[in-house]
Every structure is written in structure tokens, then in C-alpha cells.
Chains A and B, each alone.
Chain A
């Protein structure tokens, strides 16, 4: 990584009339990073991406690319290229013509261009489809053409606007892996916009979670998942059990869970005092089947709901002395029976998995 970040966003605001779409975005993206903007629809992630590309003028603040302020620089003069959500494949051109579209103004010879187009198509696995008409492509193929078309220009940054949302589940999972490989190969900075938390977790080096025009948390996937900064982030990314609790210094007490002393990073939003919420991911809790090793903390509980997923079983259990139920996910293994509704069992957990949120 070079010393100056490739993209710097400094207190970026964007207004549409009275609507405040971006509310002071400040973030840096390093060279070669796979960076994701994750959030529900309407959170401003696409606006931010389009502002980086140059399609949206920002109202205040600055966006710097390679240290240069991009204000007033039109999209065609920025070292960024975009993969559009609709892919925007030119319907009147062939696959080759689409991929070679941006080379028109380059100084390459015809032969060099043809070679570059061939290589770009090869890179996305479409080497055999160069002559095909654009409208005769499948969804996955269109996406690859859009990728090749943008990458052939060797941009500093590749911007991807929900590139996988139009594909079916199987194809999406394959493309996730392929995009990661591609990014590692070409070494170009990718900025991905997505509303799919799983997609962001799988592919990204770092993720900015956005709500209502603001970045709620910017972290790498593991931190984001294990130590979400707010209840909202925790809820948006995966599943989390929320339990009412009281905190005093590092010590937290929740009904049914007892008292636990936590580390500083378990309070991502800073020290909390008084009423608060404790979060526990379902997989950090365990149903302790007979004869299984004990855990740091244990309590007896009753099973209220069982949902069988094949590889996993989800239990809703109520710990003795607790008002609400907690979700627990257990991997199904040989010798581990699926319990029935109403069964009594022991539940184990580790306080190190807890996260505390202020109320």
C-alpha cells in the first residue's frame, strides 16, 4: 500500500433539493483494496459511488483521487470505470465492439486494440463470444462483458453498482468468487455497492455500512461481524440476540446470563453505564448435549421452537430467569440429536462473544 490513500472522501454532502442524501461522508480507500459500500436501499451508497465516478456533483466536501481533487472533473476524464447495475451493454454493438468502446480515443494500433479486446474477453472467460450481438447475451455474460469493457481501460478504480443483483443465487455465488480472483489478478481497487451483507462479507477487504446518508461503521468483515458498533449494524449484518442489561464500568449484568467482565473492544461504541443491550450471535451459544464439554458459562433452558435446515438446526430457547427467547444455531453432526420442542437442556456461552450497545 502506498502512503497516500487512492480515494479520499472528506466530509462529503449531497443534497437533492431539501433531501439530504449524503451527510458528511469521510473515508479513505487504499490502493488495491476491495472496498464495499453496504446498506439498505436509499441509504446513499449508490449516490456516493456515482459521486466518485463523476455522475453526481457533490454539494460540499471533497473527493480526492490519487491526491487530486475531482471537483469539476467529468466522468470521462476520471481514472475510474464503472460496471452499471443494468450493465448498460450497448445493444447495437457486438461484444467485441462493446469491450473496445473505450479504446476509440487511445493511441493503440488496430492490432493492439484487437489483442487487448481478446485478452480482456479471455480474462472474463468470454474468449469465444467476441462476435456475438450484445442483445443475444445471458445475464451472466452481460455482466462479464461489462467487466471486460471497464477493465480494458486499466482504471485506477473499478466501481461496481450492485453488479450481482440481477443474477440468480447459484450464478451470484460463483461470480462472487470469480470477482475476488479477478481483483487479485489485476490488482485494481474495486469499490462495490451492495445491499447483500453476505456478498459484502465474502468479497471485501473493508466494508462501510451506511444508513441514511451516513457511514455507521467502517471496518473489515470480521470486526464488522464480531464487534458491530450499533444495534442497527448488528441487525443488518447476520442475526443477533439482543438482551436487556445494565453496565457499570467493564462489568455487565443481563437477566439469565449473570454478570460478566468484558474487554474494551466488546463495547465498540465506547464505555457504557446504566441500562444497555447485550448482543450475542446465535452460533456463539451452544446447546450442551449430554456428555459434551462444558463452556465458560452454562444455564439450564427450555426449547420453544426448532427449525431444521439440514446442515444446521435453529433453536429458540428460553433460559431460566429470562423473559425473552434466544436463537441458537447448531451444526448437525453425527451423534448429535435434534432436540424436540419442550425439551429441557443446558445452554453454554462465552462472555468473550458478547457485545454491548448503549440504549
Chain B
């Protein structure tokens, strides 16, 4: 790489991007109650504290239930949409897809309060279930975007070739389509899981008395004494996200390679 001003700028920009993530573990392992420099020393105490917080365990369980349900729901809906978009022509295709992708750009507050108002009006209490509904709406565009990549590499004649070579429709699906789109499905599941796990606004508006991890975190931010514990929890969350993300990307790339498509950059 050339040592140009541009490369220097790119380096500084990466530092800017990663500054919060780098600081997070510093404070999580810092033996001091104040979140400020200088650091005091190494401790695992804050992580130990996490184990002794029942409210946190409850929130974690809620978050996991929500994230798993959302991942499955959004990916199933995404499968329908991705197959329809890549395989069939139908009127208003662009408009319909644009509408489904709308939550990508709409401010989350708008989505959250409009959902909330409807639910209140219908007399449905905010709960884990309502968060699942909201998160699925939010994750569906991401699932569609990822699965579209998998389905784009799925030439119609592949399915026909399998049938021509003696397989039934079911056999063709199992032996040809499924193996080709599976990496995309796994990537979609993981990405939806990450989004749901980290999502705050919709969960905050729709959670009622069943907080998710980010909602619990938000509550803790008010208490300065709890901040180191929050840092420890954040470290775990961020690490988990990055690990899942890397796994998801490996699967996505494997999917692309299988269908012989070229790399077109990361998610989004």
C-alpha cells in the first residue's frame, strides 16, 4: 500500500471508528468505579458482579428468546421475498420491495411509536411478543438483502437439470437448492440475531415490564456506580456480536463461492 495522505487519513478514520470498541474492555477490566483515565489496575470483579444480578439474567433470557424468534421469523419471511424477487416477475415489484425495505431508512422512533400506538389501541400489552413483532419488521430487510444474494446465484436451469437427471422436485430442492442457499440462510439467521440482540429503541418502547438486555443496560446507565458492570456487560455483548458477525460473513462468502459469484463487499 502506498504511504499517501489518503492512507494516513484511512488509518485515522479506522481509529475513529474503533475508538469506542477499544475503550470498552479497558474500563471493563479496570479496577476503579469511575469511568475515566488513568486506569487503576486489572480486575475481573465486574464480570463476577454480572453473575450476581438476577435482573440481568432475566433480561438476558428475554433477549435470547426474542433474538432467536426474530432470527427464524425474519429469515422465513426473507426467504419468501428473496425467492419471489429473484424468480418471478409481478406487477409493482419495485414498489412492493421498496415498501418492505422501508424500515431500513425510517427513523426507528417512528416505527416504534406507531407500533406502540396501534398495540395500545388494540389493548395488547407490551411484552416479549410485541418486541418480536417489531424486531422482525426491522430485520426483514436485512434478511431479504442477504438471501437475495444466495438466490441470485440460483439459475432456474439448475433445478431443471436436477429433474432432467432423474430427481423429483423434492429431490432437486434437497440436493441442489438447499445446499446452495443454506449458507445464506445461516448468515441471515445470525445477522437478524445480532440486530435483535443489540436493538434498543423498539425494545425500549414495546418492552413493558419485560426488559431486554439493551433496555436493562439503559436503566443501569443512570447509576454511576453500576457503570463498570455495564462496561463488562457491553464487552461481552460486543465480543458476541463480532464473533457472530465473523461467522455470518464466513457463511455468506462460502455461499457466494459455491455459486461462483464474485465478492461484492460486506453486508448492507
Residues of chain A touching chain B, judged by Cβ–Cβ distance below 8 Å, are 53, 55, 74-76, 80-82, 84-86, 88, 90-92, 101-102, 104-105, 134-135, 149-150, 153
Contact = CB atoms under 8 A, between A and B. Distances in A.
A76 B161 CA distance: 9
Contacts of A76: 163-168
Contact of B161 (A74, A80, A84, A104): A84
A105 B166 contact: yes
A153 B166 CA distance: 9
Contacts of B176: 90, 92
B260 to A, nearest CB: 3
B40 interface: no
Interface of B: 153, 155, 157-158, 160-168, 175-176, 179-180, 257-260
Contacts of B257: 135
A53 B259 contact: no
B157 A84 contact: yes
Contacts of B163: 55, 74-76
A75 B160 contact: yes
Contact of B162 (A53, A85, A101, A153): A101
A135 B258 contact: yes
A156 to B, nearest CB: 13
A102 B165 contact: yes
Contacts of A150: 164-165
B259 A135 contact: yes
A102 B166 contact: yes
Contacts of B259: 91-92, 135
A171 to B, nearest CB: 20
A70 B222 CA distance: 76
Contacts of B157: 84-86, 88
A55 B165 contact: no
Given A76-B166, A85-B157, A90-B158, 9 more contacts: A75-B164, A88-B157, A90-B161, A92-B176, A92-B258, A101-B162, A101-B167, A101-B175, A105-B167
A82 B161 CA distance: 7
Nearest to B182: A92
A81 B164 contact: yes
Given A90-B158, A92-B180, A53 B260 contact: no
Nearest to B155: A86
Contact of A88 (B160, B167, B168, B260): B160
Contacts of A82: 160-161, 164
Contacts of A74: 163, 168
Nearest to B154: A91
B182 to A, nearest CB: 9
A81 B166 CA distance: 9
